[in-house]
Amino acid sequence: MKQSIFLTLFLLLTSLAAAQTPARPAAMPTPAAPQLGARNYILMDFNSNRVLVERDSDVRSDIASMTKLMTSYVVFKELESGNAALEDIVPVSETAWRTGGSRMFIEPGMEVTLEEMLLGVIIQSGNDACVALAEYLAGTEAAFAEVMNFYASELGMENTHFTNATGWPDENHYSTARDVALLSQAIIRDFPQYYPWFSQKEFTFNSIRQHNRNNLLWRDPAVDGLKTGHTEAAGYCLASSAKDEGMRLISVVMGSASEQSRASESQSLLSYGFRFFETVQLYRAGDRLDTAPVWKGESDDVELGIADDLFVTIPRGRYDDLEAGVHLPDTLTAPIAEGQELGRVSITLDEAIVADLPLVALAEVPEAGFFGRTWDSLMLWGGGLFDDE
């Protein structure tokens, strides 16, 4: 049997939560989400992972040039590992040069740096640059696609499979709105040093200036990425992200009817999220949230906290209605390792759970010596301290 300690004031245990939460307006009803003409879409909060709007977000589909998000992610990982550098000269093969579709206009014999190739992929959506990078980093585009699939699995993209680096149509090349949102989140989270490239509006290479196809970069100053896509099978697609007053949202629209509609539909999702929801950070990783007694240990108690920062996304004006519960076993016994899961902490709103995560030990509690263990064993055997009355 476990005891549940329900603490309505738990949200005020840290000064952080109070300091970051100014007085808020009275709560308003949250209207229904916009209904879009796009085939599949999703709106997700970057920090809390809460999905605010979705339609057929797990249906597999052609994602066209949004594929280049994973192409870029793989290159970023190679840079991170030291296997490549931005200054590297990337050879341009005949195959890369002859690749069809959108191009950055590289040619065999050119001295093109890896950084220039990346900008050609991200801003100009260059298929030729994708192939050149794939061949440089993996030998062949097919081998590079295997690396793409490895990272897709690592990121939890359960309904994704890549066969190429460009997004060229293939029956075995597909993803979903949810998976593209997860990939977008990973790029923003893992590579903040490279993410600003996704907001760059134009890039000139080989005396040819091309504009970023993400029209939202011109329409909304809060938007700072990510990538468009279009094929006949995929329709018009757009993965976008925007940040407003510390809240970041990610939207993915797939199968839209036109270049204009994919931008307008993405804007509708982002506007809805920012207007009617807010994301607040309740606790930081490592903050002490509670203390619990420990038996048979060198210390009589253990400090409890969480391993990761906790954000929640809620309807605007509802912060004061949040409640938190700590759930611990009746008895905690040493030894306890630092980071060991000892219980759960749940955050609820109107009795619905908005967050539930492990409560972990913030420091180890070694086992006590023989006499300490013996004394605590006698106390536990007596049982008097644990009567509910």
Which H helix or E strand runs over 360? Answer: strand 352-361
Q: Per the structure block, which two tokens stand in for 275?
A: 């207007």
Calculate Rg over the CA atoms of the chain. 26
**Whether residue 377 lies in the annotated active site:** no
Q: Which of 68, 77, 227, 296 is catalytic?
A: 68
Query: To 10 degrees, the CA torsion angle through 129, 231, 64, 192?
Result: 70
Q: Which of 48, 102, 125, 268 is catalytic?
A: 125
8-state DSSP, 86: T
**Whether residue 68 lies in the annotated active site:** yes
DSSP, residue by residue, 278-330? EEEEEE-TT---EEEE-BSBSSSEEEEE-SS-EEEEEETT-GGG-EEEEEEES
What is the C-alpha to C-alpha distance for residues 69 and 248, in angstroms, rounded to an integer?
18
Q: Which of 48, 57, 61, 65 is catalytic?
A: 65
Q: Per the structure block, which two tokens stand in for 266?
A: 């993405």
**Whether residue 65 lies in the annotated active site:** yes
Q: Per the structure block, which two tokens stand in for 208?
A: 């040819």
8-state DSSP, 61: B
What is the C-alpha to C-alpha distance for residues 125 and 137, in angstroms, rounded to an integer?
18
What is the C-alpha to C-alpha distance for residues 196 and 226, in angstroms, rounded to an integer?
10
Q: Which residues are catalytic?
A: 65, 68, 125
